[in-house]
Chain A
């Protein structure tokens, strides 16, 4: 089974802080994704990565950056956290580019910005 692990289930931070959300997958998947999920808005793609040190913007990248220094790890960074970034954050991985295989999700990090 694919295992996608997010470092924290719950996180509380203050406005203006730099926040790191970590995600690790153990199946040597090429692709990794960060989504956020908000009531009434559904799941929205923030950033994704096809390979180490490669990143692409998703639909809502503003206020976020990412880092992928190793294949198994994909980090989401909130450079200066704001209250509108309070959300559920979900990491996902996919075996290879342009495949019909599904994305596998981690358990999510519920982030509160005070």
Chain B
């Protein structure tokens, strides 16, 4: 059983600070890694994707991947109240859903305190 683990939170961060979200995965052959943001009652929207070891930056967001440690993280700089949401880590690999099925973590609930 392929697993993706996230701390469910809630993770409370002051406005303007850096929010750090973490995710570990069990399947070593996982290929691609995604962070989705989901507001309550809404569908997931893609924030970042990363495929190679190291860091990838896009605006206030930085994704970090360490395949040896089977660890992926998302950093949000200058956190804003609008960043308050649930963040889903998703891993594409050879799950029960085939090569393209995503296995999701249960999500981390992030709260940015004004």
B42 adjacent to A100 (CB under 8 Å): no
* Interface assignment of B69: CB less than 8 Å from any CB of chain A: no
Distance in angstroms from B53 CB to nearest chain A CB is: 14
* Interface assignment of B81: CB less than 8 Å from any CB of chain A: no
Bound state CA distance, A43 and B105, in angstroms?
8
A40 adjacent to B101 (CB under 8 Å): no
A48 adjacent to B97 (CB under 8 Å): yes
Distance in angstroms from B18 CB to nearest chain A CB is: 24
Residues on A with C-beta less than 8 A from B105 are 42
* Binary flags per residue of B81-114, CB closer than 8 Å to A gives 1, else 0: 0000000101010011111111111110000000
A45 adjacent to B46 (CB under 8 Å): no
A45 adjacent to B49 (CB under 8 Å): no
A58 adjacent to B49 (CB under 8 Å): no
Distance in angstroms from A8 CB to nearest chain B CB is: 14
Distance in angstroms from B26 CB to nearest chain A CB is: 14
* Interface assignment of B80: CB less than 8 Å from any CB of chain A: no
Distance in angstroms from B104 CB to nearest chain A CB is: 4
The size bracket of the interface on B is 20 to 34
Cβ 8 A contact of B97, one of A41, A58, A97, A102 = A58
Contact A98:B100 (CB < 8 A) given known A40-B106, A42-B88? yes
A42 adjacent to B46 (CB under 8 Å): no
B96 adjacent to A59 (CB under 8 Å): yes
A59 adjacent to B97 (CB under 8 Å): yes
* Interface assignment of A17: CB less than 8 Å from any CB of chain B: no
Q: Which residue of A lies closest to B46 (CB)?
A: A102
* Interface assignment of A73: CB less than 8 Å from any CB of chain B: no
B100 adjacent to A108 (CB under 8 Å): no
Which of chain A's residues 54-75 have a Cβ closer than 8 Å to chain B?
56-59
Which of chain A's residues 37-54 have a Cβ closer than 8 Å to chain B?
40-45, 48, 50
A104 adjacent to B106 (CB under 8 Å): no
Which chain A residues have a beta carbon within 8 Å of chain B's beta carbons? 31, 33, 35, 40-45, 48, 50, 56-59, 90, 92, 94, 97-108
